[in-house]
Amino acid sequence: MDSKYLVYFAPCGIGLGHAYRTLTVAKRLINLLSDVEVVFSTYGEAVDLIKKYGHRCLVERPVSYLLNEEGELDLRLTLARGPRNLYNFLRQIGDEIYFQTMLNPNLVLSDSRLSSLIAAKIRKCPSFLVINQLKIILPIKKRAKAKNVMERVMLNFFDTSWSHSEKIFIPDFPPPYTISHGNIPENGDLEVLDKVVFVGPLLPVWPNELPERKIIRERMNLDRERLILASFSGLEKERESLISYLLKSLSACKDVLKRENVKIIISGGDVPSHSFDKYFKNVKEIVEIRGWIENKHQLLKASDVAITHGGHTSVIEALIYGIPAIHIINPGHTERYSNALSAEKLRVARALIANKTNVTDLCSLLIEVIYDKDMYRRVSTLSKKLTRYRGDMKIASILVKKLKEA
């Protein structure tokens, strides 16, 4: 393809939310500008997703956090692996400089990746950043003073690092509806706040792009059934941990759920099914487990309740689709818990940190949400109000303007 413009997308490869966001912007950009070509660079599971959508994807060395045996984020193990992550990060910078030099893009759009911004800065290429977590909250329960010092050091480091971008797009609603509110510093804490723009969500599929809910449910042969969609992203061990937790909890209230005609579809991704066979056999009458769901957004629109892992995109999707939600958070994920708490404060969702001592709590929450008519009304009202914030279209329009100015 002999295109006039080339845009370089660099999403974080941990989980799939970052990749979906940049794929969405790429789709809108191509629709707005016929002579543009896009290329991606990333790592992890995001590579296969991007290739599946037919885009060229350059593969980077991975950086990640570590989990313990229960699937919880383990800060100690992650810090112990610091030298390896630092090595891979430095190699990423080298790879990014090489890729960007060879391709010579007109601009770079990074989703939460610093290496791409550094490379663009070195090459004097215009760059933009998509991110919903400008500050890191460490999952440390003790030594509060040390925790505060470490968080301040990281805040200052990222303040300088993110400043390499021309604009910082927060894929979220403006206050007072901001889901990532707890992960964005207050005024005065960061120099780069003058670059921040609350653009709205970057959803791959919006509700108005799908058939009516009634039609979807008819096609799925859902008459009186209450449909619950449980969809989890993140690392494989995280997904396995949350699915096991969910299945164990459902055993405590399966009779009530069966009586209420509840059907639960769980998206397990590529987690081996034998990982939770012993829990599934107790609830198989009301539960269906699938891999990656192709028609996830149709299922979401047809659902009565959503259960997620608290990822930023997942929390926002439930809200935009007007679905009450329960967000189950693996311990240690302060960013996800903050997202879930924001949704809970809006009274459209409930938040729960998963651990061994509160397995049955999820079941109680689920029954509460199913019967909470006020929550259904609130999320429906808020959904109609917030669907006008189309971050995917706004970013694409800004990129088009930048490309034509160059």
Give residue-wise pLDDT tens across range 113-130: 889 999 999 999 999 999
Of residues 81 and 276, more confidently modeled: 276
- Rg (C-alpha) for the chain, rounded Å, is 21
From 1-5, 75-79, 125-129, the region with the lowest mean pLDDT = 75-79
Triad 6, 9, 12: Cα angle to 5°: 170
Of residues 11 and 3, more confidently modeled: 11
Residue 244: helix, strand or coil by DSSP? helix
Peptide linkage before 211 cis (omega within 30 of 0): no
From 31-35, 67-71, 396-400, the region with the lowest mean pLDDT = 67-71
- Tell me the C-alpha distance between 280 and 288, whole Å: 9
CATH code for residues 5-204+389-405: 3.40.50.2000
Q: Do domains 5-204+389-405 and 207-386 have the same CATH topology?
A: yes
Residue 262 phi, psi dihedral angles, 5° rounding:
-85, 130
- Yes or no: say if 113 and 21 are a contact pair by the CB < 8 Å rule: no
Residue 81 phi, psi dihedral angles, 5° rounding:
-85, 5
Closest of 151, 157, 141 to residue 182, by C-alpha: 151
Residue 227 phi, psi dihedral angles, 5° rounding:
-100, 130
All structural domains of the chain with their residue ranges: 5-204+389-405, 207-386
CATH code for residues 207-386: 3.40.50.2000
- Tell me the C-alpha distance between 219 and 235, whole Å: 32
Triad 260, 264, 269: Cα angle to 5°: 175
- Tell me the C-alpha distance between 398 and 304, whole Å: 36
332 φψ region: left (φ > 0), alpha (ψ -120 to 50), beta (else):
left
What is the pTM (predicted TM-score) of this model? Answer: 0.86
Residue with tokens 């081996």: 272
Give residue-wise pLDDT tens across range 338-392: 999 999 999 999 999 988 778 788 988 999 999 999 999 999 999 999 999 999 9
- Tell me the C-alpha distance between 258 and 378, whole Å: 26
Give residue-wise pLDDT tens across range 14-57: 878 899 999 999 999 999 999 999 999 999 889 999 999 999 99
Task: Indicate the helix (H) or strand (E) that contains 338.
Answer: helix 334-345
Give residue-wise pLDDT tens across range 263-314: 999 987 776 666 677 778 888 889 988 877 888 999 999 999 999 999 999 9
Residue 132: helix, strand or coil by DSSP? coil
Task: Indicate the helix (H) or strand (E) that contains 56.
Answer: none
- Tell me the C-alpha distance between 171 and 25, whole Å: 11
Burial class (CB in 10 A: 0-12, 13-18, 19+), 109: buried
Task: Sort strands 107-111 and 57-59 into parallel, antiparallel or unpaired.
Answer: unpaired
